[in-house]
Amino acid sequence: MSNNVIILAGGQGKRMKINSPKALCNVLGEPMLEWVMSACEDAGLSDICIVKGFAGEMIDEYVAKRSSVGKVSTVLQAERLGTGHAVMMAADFLKAHVGGSTLVLCGDAPFIDADTIKGALELHEKKNCGVTVVTSKVDDATGYGRVVRTADGIAGIVEHKDCTAEQLKINEINSGCYWFNTEALLEVLFEIKPNNAQGEYYLTDCVELMINKGKSADAYISENPNVALGANDRRGLLKLNDIARMSVIDKWLDFGIEFTCLDGVSIGRNVEIGAGTRIDAGVELRNGTKIGENCIIGRNCILENTIIGNGVNLNNVQAYDAVVDDCAKIGPFVQLRPDTHICKGVKIGDFVEIKNSTIGEGTAVSHLTYVGDSDVGSNVNFGCGVATANYDGEKKYRTVVGDNAFIGCNTNLVAPVTVGRGAYTAAGSTITGDVPADALAIERGKEIIKEDYAKKKLEKRTKKFEDAHRNN
């Protein structure tokens, strides 16, 4: 049978003040559970069982929408009576995998990594262990179970609250990650008793039970200093985010990416950044984003699942599910909404929003403009205050603007409408019909002048003001 994984994700996280499973709290924009699952998959483990508890349906929903490389199932731990009890809930999963080894992980310890998983498995199989515990050596072991070693393995794990004074001096701690021989685990799992300060079924007790049955037990010391870290409250979660944030930034610094200031900078672990690119303060690069070479990602940009070409300059830009080609210059205060494609050499100025549109090469959208559901050609010029009226309250329609067109200031393009190649629209026009190529469209109301209208209005307002003050 193939090796498999049980992930314990039943905790509520009351101290987080949330109404969702703790394992779904985010680190760098991804649930902690995702970090654990992806580490398993990176290690070649694709048969995963998640033990859910509080708001377990939210775990099911997450698993259902997630793109998995293998088989992921869930089981319910209706009562949260400890880690051993949680694994008991997966007994049928274990029985279906007798003949292999089972990895048990905590769903709220996000920094487990593939190298640690594979290294521990190698030791586990080499020594034919009943159980191999992943451990870490730390300066402050407060709150963690201590690993008690022998000359040829370990004698057991003692939870912090059950430690003697001498055991509290041990700095090798249990990470909550174990490789078990699946059959050996089933032999002892239901022999666990809640004879401890918490009245819970500790999975760690399986170690001593296995040793008593003649099984060998050992510990693999991870080179990852953060492998055991979890979070029980918002401060702990913030610490995890800070560690993850700096780990990713350090990776890009080693790659040669320039950071002018790290204040507010956050980069997802699956983001890609090309050589020669500069990242300024306040930049958030979310997962799915790919940035080319020699770009400037200026202050306060937020990019999510967005592809950026080479030589792009962004300043205060928010972009979601968008594509920006080479040498575009965008910002400040620009929003690119989903399905937007900005082509090579486009210039977009301040206070512009573009949605579900293609902006052709060399086009300029200078400022105070909205372009929605549009196909815009190359070398087009948009004046200030242009808006596409793409929605009539029931349906959305597209606007087409040909190459080399000139859209005058404060033009409203009422879709569906086409402005032909090289055509002009006069400033202040509301264009409701197609404009032929090379034509000028003027669509304005007739100007009417009423002499002395404003003077009479002013006199009336002045008199009303004076009367009010006189009466007071």
Count the Cβ atoms, other than its own, within 10 Å of residue 225.
Answer: 13
Residue 162, Ramachandran bin (φ over 0: left; ψ between -120 and 50: alpha; else beta): alpha
Question: So what's the pLDDT on residue 472?
Answer: 65
**Is residue 427 a known part of a binding site?**
yes
Q: Is 49 helix (H, G, I), strand (E, B) or coil?
A: strand
Asked if 367 is an active-site residue, the reply is yes
Q: For residue 73, which amino acid is it? A: S
Token pair, residue 126, equals 């080499």
Q: Look at residue 1 in the predicted model and tell me its pLDDT.
A: 58
CA gap 357, 363 in Å, rounded: 13
Residue 128's pLDDT is what?
94
Cis peptide upstream of residue 416 (ω within 30 degrees of 0): yes
316 is in an annotated binding site: no
Residue with tokens 């109404």: 19
Three-class SS of 148-186: EEECCEEEEEECHHHCCCCHHHCCEEEEEEEEEEHHHHH
Is 159 assigned a ligand-binding role in the annotation?
Answer: yes
The residue from 85, 97, 124, 367 that is catalytic is: 367
Residue 146: burial class (beta carbons within 10 Å; 0-12, 13-18, 19+): buried
**pTM tops 0.95:** no
What does the pLDDT read at residue 458?
86
Is 381 annotated for ligand binding?
A: yes
Query: What is the largest distance, in Å, between two alpha-carbon atoms of the chain?
Result: 107
Question: Residue-wise pLDDT tens for the chain (472 aa)?
Answer: 589 999 999 988 888 888 899 999 999 999 999 999 999 999 999 899 999 999 999 999 999 998 777 899 999 999 889 999 999 999 999 999 999 999 999 999 999 999 999 999 999 999 999 999 999 998 888 888 899 998 888 988 888 888 899 999 999 998 999 999 999 999 999 999 998 778 899 998 999 899 999 999 999 999 999 999 999 899 999 999 999 999 999 999 999 999 999 999 999 999 999 999 999 999 999 999 999 999 999 999 999 999 999 999 999 999 999 999 999 999 999 999 999 999 999 999 999 999 999 999 999 998 999 999 999 999 999 999 999 999 988 999 999 999 999 999 999 999 999 999 999 999 999 999 999 999 999 998 887 888 888 888 888 888 888 888 777 6
On whether 356 is known to bind a ligand per the annotation, the reply is no
313 annotated ligand-binding residue: no
Query: Are the C-beta atoms of residues 398 and 339 closer than 8 Å to each other?
Result: no
Query: Structural domains in the chain?
Result: 4-221 (3.90.550.10), 234-441 (2.160.10.10)
203-206 contact pairs (CB < 8 A, 24+): 203/82, 203/83, 203/84, 203/86, 203/87, 203/104, 203/178, 204/83, 204/84, 204/145, 204/156, 204/157, 204/158, 204/159, 204/174, 205/84, 206/84, 206/131, 206/180
404 is in an annotated binding site: no
